Structure 1
Amino acid sequence: MPPTPTANLFTVAQPPPASLRQALADLLAVPPGAVDVADADGDQEGRHWDAPVLCTWRRLPPGDLALELDITVQDATAAGVTEKDLALGLAAGTAGSVLYPSDLDLPSAYWVAVPDGRSVRCRLEAIDVADDTAYRVDAAEEEIPDLPRARVEVLPEVLDRQTVDTPSRTPSSPPSPRARQEVPKATSTTTCACGNA
């Protein structure tokens, strides 16, 4: 049985399997032969399931995203590696943006790992198509070169779920005027939920 993935990612471009293999090998400091890359819809019998790194890709219907990636990394190879680490490494290694899920309890909340090293929050929308799901990046907090149709704006639904840290004070020090003000909440917008990186 295939192991549970370490990361579930989306790519904007469609890098060939050899590019995915090399990018993961470079990121994790393993030989390319230690990375098994395969099409989810292809023959699974010949896969090297014991490889230190497994990457299963699936082509998505036309939309803003091209591939869905399930990546598993053995602890002995890279203990503590995160989805963000893998996304940023793949973005740099394949010269294309890679999406990974936010830790917010919001299915549309994702991060875009950009090849220049940035991580940008975005709103990801699911689009139902025949027997499958396509995806659209509706908005992002910064401009992303390979997602030109995404609107650049603050994401109010993200602000609603973020906590604001209030500085501690001693009893002898009065609160500042700013500390006495209540932080306003932005109005939420309704977004389409997409399953999950």
Structure 2
Amino acid sequence: MSVGTGHGFRVVGELEPEALAVALAGCLGVPTADVEVAGEEYDPETRHWDAAVSCDYAAADGDVSWVLEVHVTERVVAPPGSRELALGLAAALGRVVVYEAQPYQSAACWVAVPDGRTVRGRLYDPGYVAGREGFVMDTVESPLPSFPGARTDFIYEAVSFGQGWDFGEALRALASALRSQCPEGRLELRGSLAGDAYDRYSDIDLLWTVPGERFAAAVAGAGEALAGACPLLTARSDPEFHDAPDRRLLTYFFRGLPLFRRLDLDVRAGTPPVGPVPAGGGWPLAVSALANAVGAVKAVRRGRDTETVRGLVERGGARVGVREVASGRWADDIARLVDAAERADPRARELAGRVRELVTAELG
């Protein structure tokens, strides 16, 4: 067999070898005749060992039905990675396909859904969960009908990989605070943390869907609930949504988290709201300018183009009366923005001090 790439998948539901061969051929761009699919009782004498793609499959018990080991040889031009191949198989087969998280973290996995989504999960191998036979999908980040017995929660060990244990615990505490305030609500990760593209500069983006009759209380009480988990530095309700009857966008900086880890909480009513909804407070212009300063530091560290950084600095400056054009010496430009914001509103002094520390640490 030629050197190539291996993929491990788990599939939920019925599976026909012929359909699997056709799906693999379509996903990998090879003729179906060049795909070998073999069960546990294959005959070594008749197996197509020179196939461009080979797939061994075995029946499984528990929350998954089949285990697949797919080998893609070098004869396949530009083969997809595990995520793309899993999504292609899910769409072609109309089945949920589970693949390992990379880098592998405990029992963390990804679930490819036929509708094109990927959802993190925690899948335990047979024998791991007492009283359960076969594979056990313990947790998924969004409810999936294929796993009715799974809890809905974030896979903290996967989300926090490379970010440190403290970050995972902070996310757990914030999520727990919101769930305690509204147990009927549903929390979902959005943005980069919902996928694999996050880095240490990523915001925490959460979608919080609550029953309509709890919407007003959820909006009014979110800040207090979060402050009990992690002391607040600033809070904002985006004025853009103040006239929306069923949505608010709330933003928080925390004293106990890096400024890059602000929380953008998108609160939505899952059913028509009942009663008046708090409009929420605005974000003082000085605080808004300082948020732009944090965004500019992030943009510089991520290697964004000059115009992106310049736009963040100058828009922030305009909010606090700075009319100077940014020089492109970003540490100086952002420091000038921070000073102007603090002069414009002394109440922003604590946040300004944190931003100064950030500029020194990140931009020197």
Superposition TM-score, scaled by structure 1 size: 0.78
Distance 1:52 1:102 in 2: 25
Distance 1:48 1:178 in 2: 67
2:143 is equivalent to residue 143 of structure 1? yes
Indicate how the Cα distance of structure 1 residues 179 and 9 shifts in structure 2: closer, same or farther if over 3 A, else same.
farther
**Aligned counterparts, 1:1-197, within 5 A:** 6-60=6-60, 62-128=61-127, 134-163=134-163, 164-165=200-201, 166=260, 167=298, 168=300, 170-172=330-332, 173-174=334-335, 177=351, 180=354
Distance 1:5 1:80 in 2: 9
CA deviation vs aligned residue, 1:10-35 (integer Å, no higher than 9, x gap): 11123110110111112122221111
Runs of 4+ that moved beyond 3 A: 1-5, 174-181
State the identity as a percent: 33
Question: Is 38-47 or 108-117 further displaced after alignment?
Answer: 38-47
Number of equivalences: 177
Distance 1:17 1:68 in 2: 13
Q: Which has the higher strand share?
A: 1
Indicate how the Cα distance of structure 1 residues 80 and 94 shifts in structure 2: closer, same or farther if over 3 A, else same.
closer
Post-superposition shift, 1:159?
3.0
Q: SS at the partner of 1:128?
A: coil
Q: SS at the partner of 1:6?
A: strand
Post-superposition shift, 1:37?
0.4
Q: Which has the larger radius of gyration?
A: 2
Letter in 1 for 2:10: F
Post-superposition shift, 1:162?
4.5
Letter in 2 for 1:37: V
Superposition TM-score, scaled by structure 2 size: 0.44
Q: SS at the partner of 1:158?
A: helix
Distance 1:105 1:89 in 2: 21
Q: Which has the higher helix share?
A: 2
Work out whether residues 5 and 70 of structure 1, in 8 Å CA contact, stay in contact via their aligned partners in 2: no
Greater relative contact order structure (CA < 8 Å, 6+ sep)? 1
Indicate how the Cα distance of structure 1 residues 171 and 144 shifts in structure 2: closer, same or farther if over 3 A, else same.
same
Letter in 1 for 2:143: E
Work out whether residues 2 and 49 of structure 1, in 8 Å CA contact, stay in contact via their aligned partners in 2: no
Post-superposition shift, 1:106?
1.2
Post-superposition shift, 1:47?
0.8
Work out whether residues 96 and 146 of structure 1, in 8 Å CA contact, stay in contact via their aligned partners in 2: no
Letter in 1 for 2:91: A
Show structure 1 runs of 5+ residues with no match. 182-197
Work out whether residues 36 and 54 of structure 1, in 8 Å CA contact, stay in contact via their aligned partners in 2: yes
Distance 2:77 2:20 in 1: 17
Post-superposition shift, 1:4?
6.3
Work out whether residues 41 and 58 of structure 1, in 8 Å CA contact, stay in contact via their aligned partners in 2: no
Post-superposition shift, 1:144?
1.7
Residue matched to 1:185: none
Distance 1:49 1:79 in 2: 21
Indicate how the Cα distance of structure 1 residues 58 and 180 shifts in structure 2: closer, same or farther if over 3 A, else same.
farther
Post-superposition shift, 1:76?
2.6
Letter in 2 for 1:76: R
Indicate how the Cα distance of structure 1 residues 5 and 68 shifts in structure 2: closer, same or farther if over 3 A, else same.
farther
Distance 1:4 1:20 in 2: 20
